[in-house]
Amino acid sequence: MLGRLALPPRCPGCGTIVEDDHRFCGTCWGGMRFLGRPSCAGCRAPFEYDRGADARCAACLADPPRHAGVFAAVAYDELSRRLALNLKYGRRVGIGETMARYMGRVVPDDVDLLVPVPLHRWRLWSRGFNQSVVIGAALARVRALPLDAHALVRTRATPSMRGRGQAARARAVRGAFAAPDRARVAGRRVGLVDDIHTTGATAQAATAALLRAGAASVSILCWARVLGDEDWNVAD
């Protein structure tokens, strides 16, 4: 009790004192756009209105993704970006649990294994931790699912994605992932955990590696999703 009086719970977005840990204040809560249905049956991009259970967006009709959809808790905006940066660079690892609590509601029921997007060892050494592992570990607790942080590896270092367009991002990560031990993922319905989904280049490359290793399906699970192409300068 004394600890809570000295260090009361604060809103992860703005620092205002709130009733409990991982709760947002009314202002931050009201400013976030929570994602869900209605959405595209392919990539799960949100629709303005319900077009039917099997309706797909123009992008999926033109080039269907190999993954089973992007399941994001919120739309990417200044608040969701700030939380991602505070986790990634501010080392506020408790934010990973905050994200996981809101991500938990959108995890498909058929997912039976969580796999975080890996960092290359050089970046892991410089940062000290992988934010996707932090989020994935918390999400595993929230949804009572197994987490395998070694099922997917990044086989080579990739350049910063900041400021790169979709084609450049796709080239940068093509062939950058592998699932060296097929037994870890064969037949599993994988939930690929990441913080921000931007153009989808990383998700597509990682999905390809998991499917080659025999995964039955791959669903992308993330905290926030960039909607449209107006902001690709997401910190990587």
> Where do runs of H (alpha helix) occur along 63-200?
78-88, 94-103, 121-127, 131-143, 166-173
- Give me the pLDDT at residue 160, please: 60
Report the CATH number of the 33-225 domain.
Answer: 3.40.50.2020
pLDDT, tens digit, 9 for 90 and up, residues 194-204: 999 998 889 99
pTM of the model: 0.89
pLDDT, tens digit, 9 for 90 and up, residues 66-124: 999 999 999 999 999 999 999 988 888 999 999 999 999 999 999 999 999 998 777 76
Where are the domains positioned within the chain?
1-31, 33-225
